[in-house]
Chains A and B, each alone.
Chain A
C-alpha cells in the first residue's frame, strides 16, 4: 500500500495557486523534493501535514483521508520544519519530552525516548542546556530529534541542512540516511540543494510553479547515455571539435573543459578514437556520458518553462 497518494491536488492561498493538480504516489524509501524557491515544496509538505486544505483533488496517507483523519496521520509522522525552532524557556530534554507527550506517550516513556533520541542526534552532552544557548547546528539536531521522538513511519524534512557548516551538513545527511535505512521508514526530504538530495534520496520529485515536472529514481534520471561520451584531450580541444562535427557528431564543451560528444546514429566510440588518431589528437579521458542531477533538474525546469 502506498504511504502517500495525491490525486489532482490543488491548493490555493487566496488568489495564489500554490499547487496545480499534483498527482503522486509515494510507496516508501527516501524521496527528495527538489525545486527552486516558490516551486511548491513547502506547500506540498504542509498539505501532507494537513495545514493546507486541498481545494480540489484527494490526498490519502497510510490509507487515511486527509485532512479528515489528520490527527491519526500526524501520530505516525515526524516533521522537521525549515524555520529555526527554539524554545527560549526550556532545555532540549524538557522540550522533547513535551513533544513525546503530545504524541500520546506517557511521561516516563517520553523521557526515556527523549534521552535516547538526543543521544542519537549527537546532543547527549548539551541536552540539559536551555535551547536559547544552542548554535544553529544544535537547533537543527533538536528539530530532527523532535521529529524522531515517537519513532515515526514517515519523516518529512524541510530543508534539513539550512544554516549548517559543511561538516555539520554531512553529519546531518548521514543521520538522515541512517534513519531512512531503518525498516518501514519513509523519508521525504525537501531541498533546493541538489547534492543533499543526491546524497540521501533514491527517488526525486522535481517541482516548478506548483507542478511536478519530473519524477523518477535518481539512478534512472542520471543513467548512462547510449550514444554520448565524455572526452578529455591533452590539447587541441577546439580543432578536435571541428573534426568531430565534420564527421556528423554533436559536440559541446563542459564547464571542466571536457567534451560531451553525441555520435551519429549507427556509429559508436570507435569513431572517436579513429578521428583522434587521424587528426593527431591525444585522448586522456574517456567515459560514457551521464546526466548529472543538475542537468536533469535544469532540463526539467527549462522544459516546463518552454525554454
Chain B
C-alpha cells in the first residue's frame, strides 16, 4: 500500500473460533497489570508466603539438625511446626487480603463496562453473555487462587522436597487437594458476590463498599447472635465463620468454632453463590438479549 494512500486493506487472515472467555480473562489481566497498586498488592500478598517459606526452612532444615545451635530455641516455638494446621492458617490469613484483591479487581469489572457503554460494543462481536461472565469470573478466581492455593501448594511441594520421606508423603498427599478446595471455597463466593455487586450497581466505589458493608454486618450479626443467645452455633450466620468452619473440616483441624453440621455451612455457601450468579446472569444477559 503506498504511504500516501489513506485506506485499509481487506483482511485475508483467518478468524479462528476460540474460547472467547479466555480472551476476556487475558484482557482483564492485561488491564490489571497496568496498575501499580495491583502489582504492589500482589507483592504484599506474597510477603506472608515468604514468612511461611522461612518457617518451612526453619522446620525442615534447622530443626531436623540436632547439632544446630538454633534447634533448642526453635523447639520452644509451637507454631513453627509444619503440618496441615499451618497450611489451613496460611490460607485463612490470606482471606482478608483476598477480599481486598477481589474488591479492587472485581468491583469495577462489570459496572465500568456498563457505565462506559462497552456492553453494546462487546456483544456486537461474536461473543455471548456466557463467555463474558465466564471470562470475568475466571479472571477473578485465578487471581484469588494466585494468592491462596498456588503459593500454598508450592510450599507443600517445597516441604516435601526439603524433608523427603515416605511417611511425610503419605501424611501430606491430600494437603494440596484440601488447599485447593478451601481456597476455592473462599475465592468463588467472594468473586461471585463482588461481580454481582458490580453488575447491580453502576459505580465501582459503591460496589466495593456494598460488598464490604454486607460482609461486615453479616459477621457482626453472627457474633452478636452467638453472644446474646449464648450459643456458638449461631456463628453459622457469619459467612466468614462458616467458611473457616468448612476449612477446619477440610484440613481436619480440631477446635471447631461451632458444632453445627458442615452441610449447613456448605448450603449457606451454595445459596450465596447461586444468588450472586443469578444476579450477574440476569443483568449481563439483558445487555445482550434486550427483548
Contacts and interface: CB of A to CB of B under 8 A. Distances in A.
Contact of A85 (B6, B8, B121, B126): B121
B290 A46 contact: yes
B291 A13 contact: yes
A102 B125 contact: yes
Nearest to B20: A102
Given A51-B289, A53-B289, A120-B7, A99 B121 contact: yes
A298 B128 CA distance: 40
B291 A90 contact: no
Interface stretch (B9-17, B52-60, B143-151, B193-201): B9-17
Contacts of B31: 89-90
Contact of A116 (B8, B112, B120): B8
A275 interface: no
Contact of A99 (B9, B15, B125): B125
A41 interface: no
B118 A87 contact: yes
Interface in B17-31: 17-18, 20, 23, 27, 30-31
Interface string A87-107: 111100010001101111110
A94 B33 CA distance: 13
A18 B291 contact: yes
B56 to A, nearest CB: 38
A141 interface: no
A113 B121 contact: no
Interface string B97-113: 00000000000000010
A256 to B, nearest CB: 38
Give the contact-size bracket for chain A: 35 or more
B122 interface: yes
Contacts of B122: 102
Contacts of A87: 116, 118
A258 interface: no
Given A51-B289, A102-B23, A117 B117 contact: no
B291 A12 contact: yes
B123 interface: yes
Contacts of B290: 13, 46, 51-52
Contacts of B126: 71-72, 74-75, 102-104
Contact of B124 (A53, A81, A94, A113): A81
A152 B291 CA distance: 25
B89 interface: no
Nearest to A151: B11
Interface in B31-61: 31, 34
A217 B218 CA distance: 65
Contact of A94 (B15, B30, B112): B30
A113 B13 CA distance: 11
B233 interface: no
Given A101-B23, A104-B16, A113-B11, A51 B288 contact: yes
Interface of A: 11-13, 18, 46, 49-53, 67, 71-72, 74-75, 77-79, 81, 83-90, 94, 98-99, 101-106, 109, 113, 116-117, 119-120, 143, 146-148, 150-151, 156, 178
Interface of B: 6-11, 13-18, 20, 23, 27, 30-31, 34, 112, 116-118, 120-128, 288-291
17 contacts: A50-B289, A78-B124, A79-B124, A81-B117, A84-B117, A85-B121, A89-B31, A90-B31, A99-B121, A102-B122, A103-B125, A109-B13, A143-B121, A147-B124, A150-B11, A151-B8, A156-B124
Given A90-B31, A105-B15, A146-B121, 11 more contacts: A49-B123, A52-B290, A52-B291, A75-B15, A81-B117, A98-B27, A99-B125, A102-B126, A109-B13, A120-B7, A148-B8
